[in-house]
Amino acid sequence: MDAPINLLNYLKSKTQVDVDSLDNEELGPFVDCTSNQMDAYHELLKPNHAALIKKSAALAGEIGREYPEVTREELAFEISMVRLAQTIVPNITGAILVMPDFDMTRMIVKVPSTWEGLQACRELKGLGVKTLGTTVFTLEQAVLAAEAGCIYVSPFLNELKATMDPTYHDSSPIFGVCTDIQRYYEQHCHTTRVKACAAVSVEQILQLAGVAAFTATADQLRELSSMKEPAADVMARSVFLGSATREHANGNANGHVNGDTNGHTNGDYNMKLEKLSFVDDESKYRLAFAKSDGGKGQLKTSQALNMFCEYQIKGEAMMKDADMTVIG
């Protein structure tokens, strides 16, 4: 029997491990750091960030006249997220989001994977700005993101709601979409990399060992670092590396893995995927996206964007109570 191995070390040997947290007292180092409005809002609720909020609000009051189209509260929340990100630098060796007064080669802008968002990524690439297409739930979004020049795409394994509400269960996590995207990029020579996220358990993360990159929460990373299992047992669970891949999901003739009934062919990495193109045909893209998986991907994308908007509003409301007095 194989000697037990540490699960976090095992995962790092198979996949780029990134952290989804703005708490600077986490395990590290990791490669990239990603975050969003929900992460920022919950982190800013901690009492130790009271001074950061006040300074961010004061700076927003000072420079607000330079951004007349943006409310002071929105500007203050954005500044506070940048300052939180700056505290993560010692734990990160790779990319960090929007870092002023920092090495700009490490900046990657997260953009929603809508038609409009990914066309914006196309424009940003022309300006030399690196982007990540987030809220990806379909192969069609990933194809358009690659054509638009995104450095990464982030397929959400589960609906965003499932990561926030422990009583809610996503009945169709997109394991097959994750494997299809990575295989499609490899087969058609796209340099865009898959950075999966939104697992609801350590078990789901281990099933994605072998994906190019994975973003895990701080709690998930702590759990992985505290666990040991035999290497062969762990590898056998991966949809990229183990028997779940080789045996088409342990005998399931449709090749689905752990509830992924989306019709994707994650069982055979040699199966050729048709080359697609959407970047210059909005109607073609919208139709394909709407039809993908019976419309589930479109619904999940809209749900995620609505939740992020909700926390953006909460963050701005938090800033209303902060001191926005113009400095000096």
Q: What is the DSSP string of 121-163?
A: HHHHHHTT--EEEEEE-SHHHHHHHHHHT-SEEEEBSS-HHHH
Which of 22-26, 150-154, 248-252 is modeled with the greatest confidence?
150-154
Using the Cα atoms of residue 63, residue 68, residue 74 and residue 78 in order, give the sign of their dihedral. Answer: negative
CA trace torsion 170, 200, 183, 176 (10° rounding): -30
Please indicate whether residue 321 or residue 52 has the higher confidence score (pLDDT).
52
Strand partners, 193: 152
Q: Are 194 and 153 in contact (CB under 8 A)?
A: yes
What's the confidence (pLDDT) of residue 23? 78
What's the confidence (pLDDT) of residue 27? 65
User: If you average pLDDT over residues 157-178, what whole number do you get?
Assistant: 95
At residue 110, the 3 state secondary structure works out as strand
Quickly state the pLDDT bin for 249 (edges 50, 70, 90): very low
Q: Are 304 and 135 in contact (CB under 8 A)?
A: yes
Quickly state the pLDDT bin for 323 (edges 50, 70, 90): low
Task: Determine which of 103-107, 273-277, 310-314, 319-323 has the lowest per-residue pLDDT on average.
Answer: 103-107
Q: From 257, 260, 207, select the one nearest 235 (Cα to Cα).
A: 207
**What's the CA angle centered on 137, arms 181 and 92, to 5 degrees?**
75
Task: Determine which of 27-31, 74-78, 220-224 has the lowest per-residue pLDDT on average.
Answer: 27-31
Task: Determine which of 38-47, 59-68, 184-193, 245-254 has the lowest per-residue pLDDT on average.
Answer: 245-254
Sole residue written with tokens 């994977």 = 113
Centroid of chain to Cα 299: 17
What's the confidence (pLDDT) of residue 269? 64
What's the confidence (pLDDT) of residue 325? 52
Pairing of strands 16-20, 213-216: parallel
Crossing angle, helix 72-86 and helix 50-63, to 10 degrees?
A: 130
Q: Which of 12, 46, 54, 110 is catalytic?
A: 110
User: If you average pLDDT over residues 40-69, what whole number do you get?
Assistant: 93
Phi, psi angle pair for 146, to nearest 5° = -65, -45
Q: 291 an active-site residue?
A: no
Phi, psi angle pair for 288, to nearest 5° = -65, -40
What's the confidence (pLDDT) of residue 247? 40
43-76 core/surface letters (b: 16 or more CB in 10 A; e: else): bbeeeebeebbbbbbbbbbeebeeeeeeebbbbb
Quickly state the pLDDT bin for 24 (edges 50, 70, 90): low
- Which amino acid is residue 185, in one-letter code? Y
Rounded to whole angstroms, the Cα distance separating 27 from 221 reads 7
Half-sphere exposure of 280 (CA within 13 A, CB side): 0
Task: Determine which of 86-95, 136-145, 206-215 has the lowest per-residue pLDDT on average.
Answer: 86-95
Q: Are 91 and 69 in contact (CB under 8 A)?
A: no
Rounded to whole angstroms, the Cα distance separating 55 from 327 reads 10
Neighbours of 19 (CB within 10 A): 25
